Amino acid sequence: AKPHSSFANKIRLAIIPKLFITVFIFKVALDIHLESIKFNFDTTSGQENSEYLTVNFEGRLGNLMFEYAGLYGLANTNKKLPYMEIAPVTMKLKKIFNLSVPLMDDDSVNDVQEYHTDQLIWGKYSKQWNSLPKKRNLKIFYWLQSFKFFWHVKSQILQEFQFSSTINEKAVAILRTATMRKSGQPNVTLIGVHVRRGDIMIQSNLRRGYVPAPKRYFQNAMHHFNSSYPNCVFIVCTDDISWTKLHFPVNNNIIFSARSAEIDLAILSKCDHTIISTGTFGWWAAFLA
């Protein structure tokens, strides 16, 4: 039994230093990450007087992206630390993009005050946002659907919305297939087309002023690109594949996609040009392209 015991002791002695080194490296990496947050947002991270900021995340992918970008921009402007509350929508957003803003549970930040802005027009930017209440941790209830909330940190937002490797690989594979349709032809131009109908066609939304892009709009836009570039391939992403296939010509230059929102967005973002329709999703497709 002695040799076995001696061997086990050696194993323990070998493991303990490795565990210590691993913990030490993790601690150093965590400190560096916290320092990077301090630098990026010019805050007093790690001190007792740190001020935190989050938003009420709701809606679909395009809405969530505006809320995240708005949070990032407002935190930068107001010298607060941004964070996202742990919830299904924020966890999904983290899986789609390589985001730097951390997820935190409700108990991690004390005395968070709800910040409602009923006096402002929803989705519209106001200079009021440049001077949020100080010495408070805030949760904003507002859609933040204006690029003005984050245009001063535009380059950072483009970095934030880098797709995960899994989504990126799927989008690249689809675009590679699209390019092969013009195999042997030089200078293939990929045109992303976003056709949104879905919830826009609900009567209550039509009464509120939502306007679906008509067939003629897409025909004119596609004609423009066909006239401008010799070898176009159109990748059409839509939430209404039946309507789209019925009203778009069937030829070798058009590929239809009705995949998940995140994969469709990744596809559109990698195209050379974009034809967008109503909604935040199309806006982000053009912004990321």
- For the segment 167-190, the average pLDDT, to the nearest whole number, is 88
pLDDT digits 0-9 by tens, 109-121:
888 988 887 655 6
**The predicted structure's pLDDT at residue 116:** 80
Alpha-carbon span 148 to 129, nearest angstrom: 10
List of residues 6+ apart from 269 with CB closer than 8 A: 163, 171, 192, 284, 285, 288, 289
**The predicted structure's pLDDT at residue 181:** 79
pLDDT digits 0-9 by tens, 66-103:
999 999 999 999 999 999 999 999 999 999 999 999 99
Q: Which of 81-85, 104-108, 188-192 has the lowest mean pLDDT?
A: 104-108
Nearest to 229 by CA among 169, 189, 180: 189
**The predicted structure's pLDDT at residue 55:** 95
**The predicted structure's pLDDT at residue 276:** 94
Helix or strand run (H / E) with residue 113: strand 112-116
- Token code pair at residue 70: 């708005």
**The predicted structure's pLDDT at residue 128:** 84
Percentage of the residues of the chain whose pLDDT score is greater than 90: 58
Q: Where are the domains of the chain?
A: 52-160, 165-288
Threshold 0.95, pTM exceeds: no
* 52 in Cβ contact with 111 (< 8 Å): no
Which residues on neighbouring strands pair with residue 84, listed in sequence order?
103
**The predicted structure's pLDDT at residue 7:** 34
Q: Does domain 165-288 match CATH 3.40.50?
A: yes
